C-alpha cells in the first residue's frame, strides 16, 4: 500500500522589512523556503508579491499543499478575516482571508505575526512546556504574543497583545508608521530605535568606530552594531545599553502584569543576545515586583527569525485539525 503523504502547509511571515514563506510538514520541518524584502509602496503591490511567493513555494511541494497560515503585522478582525490597520506595512481595511483564498484556491488562516511567533515558541521552542508565556519580537517594530493557559490570547476581536504599543515614555518621540502615539515600546527599543540611537551616539562620540562606520556610509543596523559592540566600541555598547534598558522597562511591566513562566525575546534584533538581555534582566531584577521577577525565565527565541513562519504553519495545521473534528 502506498504511504499516505504527510500534510503540508505553507507558513508565511510578513514583516516590516522582510517576508518569508516556508513549506512546512506536520513535524514543523521546513522543506522549502523563500525570503524577500517587503514591498511597501502600496497595498496592491504587497498583496500581489505575497501571492507570487506562496505560489512559488507551493509549486515546489512534492504533494498538494493543504492550507496557508499567515502571520501579518496587523490589527486583525478574526471574524471577518480582515487586516484592519497595520503600523509598518501598507495593509489596511483589507479582506485578507477572502482575497488570499480566492487567489490561492485553498484554506487560508491569519493571525498577528507576533502571536504566531509566540505559538511556535510555546509549541516547540524556548517556551516548550510552559502554559503562561509572553513573547516580544524585536525588529522594525516590536510585536507581542500572549499565551494564557496554553492558548494564544486574541482579545475581543483578534487585535490584542500589541505589546509594542505599550507606552514606555508618554513624553517620548512620536511612534512610527501609522501609530499616532508617543513613546511606545517600539519607539524606544526596536530596530528603528537602534538606528536612531546609533546616529545620536555617533554624533556625541565622533572618534568612535561607530561614527567612522556611519561616515563611510554603512547602515547602522543590528549586524554592524553587534560586531562593533563585541569589539568593545564604546558608542555601540552605549546603544545596546539603551536598547537593553528600555527592553527591561517593557519586560518589567509585562512580567508584573502577567506573571509568565517564560518570557521569550525574538525578532532580528535578538541576534545581539546578551547585549540586550543582560541589561534588560538587570533592570527587571532591580525594579520588578516579587515573586514574578524571581520566577520568570527571560530567554532568547529558539527559532530566531523563523519563529513567525513556523508559527504561521502551526496555525494552519491547528485550524485544519480543528475543522476535521
Ligand atoms: C504592529 C504589530 C506587529 C509588530 C511587529 C507593530 O508595529 O503593530 O501588529 O506585531 O509591529 O511586526
Contact 107, 7 (CB under 8 A): no
pLDDT average, residue stretch 53-75:
97
Q: Ligand 1: which of 15, 19, 111, 112 to mutate, most ligand atoms within 8 Å of CB?
A: 112
> For the residues of 237-260, what is the DSSP string, one character each?
HHHHHHHHHHHHHHHHHHHHHH--
pLDDT average, residue stretch 99-122:
98
**Which pLDDT score, from 0 to 100, does residue 6 have?**
76
pLDDT average, residue stretch 264-285:
97
* C-alpha 213 – ligand 1 centre gap (Å): 30
**Which pLDDT score, from 0 to 100, does residue 305 have?**
85
Contact 30, 309 (CB under 8 A): yes
* C-alpha 162 – ligand 1 centre gap (Å): 7
Q: Is 253 in the pocket of ligand 1 (CB under 6 A)?
A: no
Q: Is 111 in the pocket of ligand 1 (CB under 6 A)?
A: no
**Full strand arrangement of the beta sheet holding 142-148:** 151-152, 142-148, 133-138, 262-266, 297-300
How is residue 131 written as a grid cell? 502554559
Q: Ligand 1: which of 96, 139, 162 to mutate, most ligand atoms within 8 Å of CB?
A: 162
> For the residues of 168-186, what is the DSSP string, one character each?
S-TTS-B-STT---BSBHH
**Position in ligand 1 atom list of the atom nearest CA 186:** 7
Site of grid cell 490561492: 104
Q: What is the pLDDT of residues 132-159, one digit of tens each?
A: 999 999 999 999 999 999 999 999 999 9
d(CA 325, CA 321): 7
Q: Is 145 in the pocket of ligand 1 (CB under 6 A)?
A: no
Q: What is the pLDDT of residues 227-252, one digit of tens each?
A: 999 999 999 999 999 999 999 999 99
- Compute CA distances 196 → 151, 219, 250, 289, whole Å: 36, 11, 19, 31
Query: Which of 252, 191, 261, 259 is closest to 226 using CA atoms?
Result: 191
- pTM of the complete model beyond 0.75: yes
Q: Is 162 in the pocket of ligand 1 (CB under 6 A)?
A: yes
d(CA 96, CA 239): 38
pLDDT average, residue stretch 84-92:
97
Q: Which domains does the chain have, with CATH numbers?
A: 8-112+306-324 (3.30.420.40), 126-301 (3.30.420.40)
**Which pLDDT score, from 0 to 100, does residue 5 have?**
58
Q: Is 87 in the pocket of ligand 1 (CB under 6 A)?
A: yes
Amino acid at each position: 500500500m502506498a504511504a499516505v503523504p504527510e500534510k503540508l502547509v505553507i507558513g508565511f511571515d510578513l514583516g516590516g522589512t522582510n517576508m518569508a514563506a516556508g513549506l512546512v510538514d506536520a513535524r514543523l520541518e521546513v522543506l522549502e523556503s523563500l525570503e524577500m524584502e517587503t514591498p511597501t509602496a502600496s497595498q496592491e503591490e504587497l498583496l500581489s508579491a505575497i501571492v507570487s511567493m506562496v505560489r512559488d513555494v507551493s509549486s515546489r511541494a512534492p504533494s498538494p499543499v493543504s492550507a496557508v497560515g499567515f502571520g501579518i503585522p496587523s490589527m486583525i478582525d478574526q471574524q471577518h478575516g480582515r487586516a484592519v490597520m497595520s503600523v509598518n506595512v501598507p495593509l489596511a481595511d483589507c479582506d485578507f482571508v477572502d482575497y488570499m483564498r480566492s487567489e490561492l484556491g485553498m484554506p487560508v488562516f491569519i493571525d498577528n505575526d507576533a502571536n504566531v511567533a509566540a505559538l511556535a515558541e510555546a509549541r516547540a521552542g524556548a517556551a516548550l512546556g510552559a502554559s503562561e508565556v509572553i513573547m516580544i519580537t524585536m525588529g522594525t517594530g516590536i510585536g507581542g504574543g500572549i499565551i494564557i493557559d496554553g492558548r494564544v490570547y486574541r482579545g475581543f476581536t483578534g487585535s490584542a497583545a500589541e505589546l509594542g504599543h505599550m507606552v514606555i515614555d508618554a513624553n517620548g518621540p512620536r511612534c512610527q508608521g501609522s501609530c499616532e502615539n508617543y513613546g511606545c515600546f517600539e519607539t524606544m527599543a526596536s530596530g528603528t530605535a537602534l538606528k536612531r540611537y546609533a546616529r545620536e551616539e555617533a554624533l556625541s562620540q565622533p572618534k568612535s568606530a561607530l561614527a567612522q562606520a556611519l561616515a563611510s556610509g554603512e547602515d547602522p543596523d543590528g549586524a554592524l552594531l553587534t560586531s562593533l559592540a563585541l569589539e568593545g566600541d564604546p558608542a555601540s555598547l552605549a546603544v545596546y545599553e539603551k536598547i537593553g534598558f528600555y527592553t527591561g522597562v517593557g519586560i518589567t511591566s509585562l512580567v508584573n502584569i502577567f506573571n509568565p513562566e517564560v518570557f521569550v525575546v525574538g525578532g532580528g534584533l535578538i541576534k545581539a543576545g546578551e547585549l540586550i538581555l543582560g541589561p534588560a534582566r538587570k533592570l527587571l531584577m532591580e525594579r520588578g515586583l516579587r515573586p514574578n521577577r524571581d520566577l520568570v525565565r527571560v530567554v532568547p527565541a529558539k527559532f530566531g527569525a523563523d519563529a513567525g513562519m513556523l508559527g504561521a504553519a502551526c496555525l494552519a495545521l491547528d485550524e485544519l485539525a480543528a475543522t476535521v473534528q
